[in-house]
Amino acid sequence: MSPIHLAQLCLFSIGIYAFSLFTYLVFYYDLFSTLFLGEIQSEYDFIIVGSGTAGSLIGHRIAKETNYTFIVLEAGGRGHSFHDIPAFGPLLHQSVFDWNYETEPQENACFAMENSRCKQTQGKILGGSSKLNNMIHIRGNTSHYVEWFHGKYNKKYIEDQFKYIESNIFHLNNIKYDSNLGEAVLRAAKELNFKLLKHDFGIGFMKSIVTQNQGKRWTTSYNLETSKYVFTNVLVEKLLFIKNKCIGAQITTPKRMTLFAKKGVIISAGTFNSPKILQLSGIGPEKLLNSLNIPVVKSLPVGKNLQDHIGTGLDLVLFNNSQSIEMFDIMNLWNVFQYFFNGKGPLTTPGCEVIGFISTKNETSPNLQFMVLPVGISADRGSHLRKTLKIRDTVWNDYFSKIFDKYTATFLTLLLHPKSKGEVRIQSKNPTVPPLIDPKYLSHKDDLRTIVNGVHMIRKLIETESLKNIGAHLNNIPFPGCENFEMFSNLYLECYVKHLTLTSYHPVGTCAMGLPETKNSVVDTTFKVLGIDNLYVVDASVLPTLPSGNINAAIAMMANIFFENNFKEILNINKVDFCNKISFRDFLLNTCPVR
């Protein structure tokens, strides 16, 4: 490493360590504050587990449109307004506001990462993973959602749900900062006869639409009166049942408590933690539960059907001159001023300026998505980004560190509908132990072939006059482990993808929605857990297949459907004339006489 690059590494590291120290202080202040601020009641009408996109949306509508009592339980902390600076999003990866999960060692992927494990960033913070994502809003293919509900709702109804959340729930904006790269990519797409999309579904390219408000990250949790309805740093250990009815949850705050739900428990803890909670509570594969001596409440395929958008392309495209955002742009005091006073400038960057959709099969529905990011992980000289992916030292030294004298961009090539499926399962009865996550990336050969074809399309983009004119060229350093293959041949790219396997952090499917008579479903089309009363799952885990794009909008749409079409029915369940002087807990214990 040259003296200049070493100096840059030191400078960037100081800034990142300062941000990390600040983040720790925010976390522990909130953790300490929870001991004194507010008191959790013993019973509510509804308990919502998780404050992500779905949980916060449901909580907001309950508070706004009903008089029912509820509580939102969030395992993480509250964060700070500095954490809403879009450009700082990657700095929360692998922080105290991240669950810090990782996959099991992969047989066909993630070879460039330590122990062949891919990191699985998930938000452990008020707002959930929407506090750590790229803020991209994409509806995707609405016909897929009609299939999810098995025809219960038509395409127009689904579109109306999107229109509602886009008008009444979300804050949506065009990106506030355009680099040279974004415009050049759109021109290159036109050269290849791709359409410039006005809407986010179809074959073509478009500028990103983002969930931001005046340049700041925005999440559905901002609609909630959090001081009244949300309790942070609360770990749900397991759910409680009487026969086939969910009656509440056992939590740690840090003291252990039991909460009762009069009308329902809504699990919105995400694709990894929702199945974890269900399995810890006795709902899951019978063989798994028996192996851990967990009494079986209901045998269901909880944790199966795990799918994710994966791809490749880090630092694949190089430039001799800066075309986009550099680390010094983020640290520039004028740009800091622009952000805080005008909501503009490089600090508003979502990390993805342009998205594109293509089909490698010449079909009208895309099977690949491109996300054009203005930087690569070599931009910070190894001070943070490589650590969030756990890139092996040999790979870093022999590949990424050799392009410090270049300017990088990432053309992320993502597989939209993988055939490879994995699972999530608990490994202990201890609720603090992380679940085992085995996505079985690239276990189906078609997935590898499709991503390779996508990288070939990136090569065509780079060869257009629009990108050549700004000095774009491919990184021709042989990737470590793939040196024996002809550069950019199919065999080389297959090796490259297997090594540099990247997730876009869009896991779905572990509590899949479906018809009750099927063997693959965990919840029905009303989001109710099969065979269990008063228990619902509403988050990415219920999506039976992946949307054709980033998943945040689809999750919000599903949560809105849950409220609008099920909530009135849920509220009418178990209407019992409780004796006024006896608690709900006593009623559950059969000490309250029913008139």
Residue 508 and residue 305: Cα distance in Å, rounded? 8
Which runs of consecutive H residues, i.e. helices, occur in 94-225? 142-148, 155-168, 180-191
The CA-to-CA distance between both ends of the chain, in Å, stands at 80
Question: For residue 342, what are the contacts with CB-CB under 8 A and spacing of at least 6?
Answer: 215
Question: For residue 449, what are the contacts with CB-CB under 8 A and spacing of at least 6?
Answer: none
Q: Write the DSSP symbol of residue 112.
A: T
3-class secondary-structure state, position 338: helix
Q: Hey, what are 76's tokens? A: 């993480």
Residue 191 identity: E
Residue 236 annotated as binding?
A: yes
Phi, psi of 128 (to 5 degrees): 65, -150
The string of DSSP codes covering 464-494 is SHHHHTTT-EE--SPPTT-TTS-TTSHHHHH
Q: CA geometry: angle at 547 spanning 313 and 534, to 5°? A: 130
Residue 272 identity: F
Residue 277 and residue 250: Cα distance in Å, rounded? 11
The string of DSSP codes covering 507-549 is -B-TT-B--TTSSS-SB-TTSBBTT-BTEEE-SGGG-SS--SS
Q: Write the DSSP symbol of residue 221.
A: G
Residue 104 and residue 436: Cα distance in Å, rounded? 7
Q: How far is CA 218 from the centre of its chain?
A: 15
The string of DSSP codes covering 153-172 is S-HHHHHHHHHHHHHHT---
Residue 301 and residue 218: Cα distance in Å, rounded? 34
Give the β-pairing of 423-425 and 216-217: unpaired
Residue 128 and residue 175: Cα distance in Å, rounded? 22
Partners of 70 in beta bridges: 46
Residue 327 identity: M
Q: Which residues are annotated as a binding site?
A: 236
Q: Which residues are annotated as a binding site for FAD?
A: 236
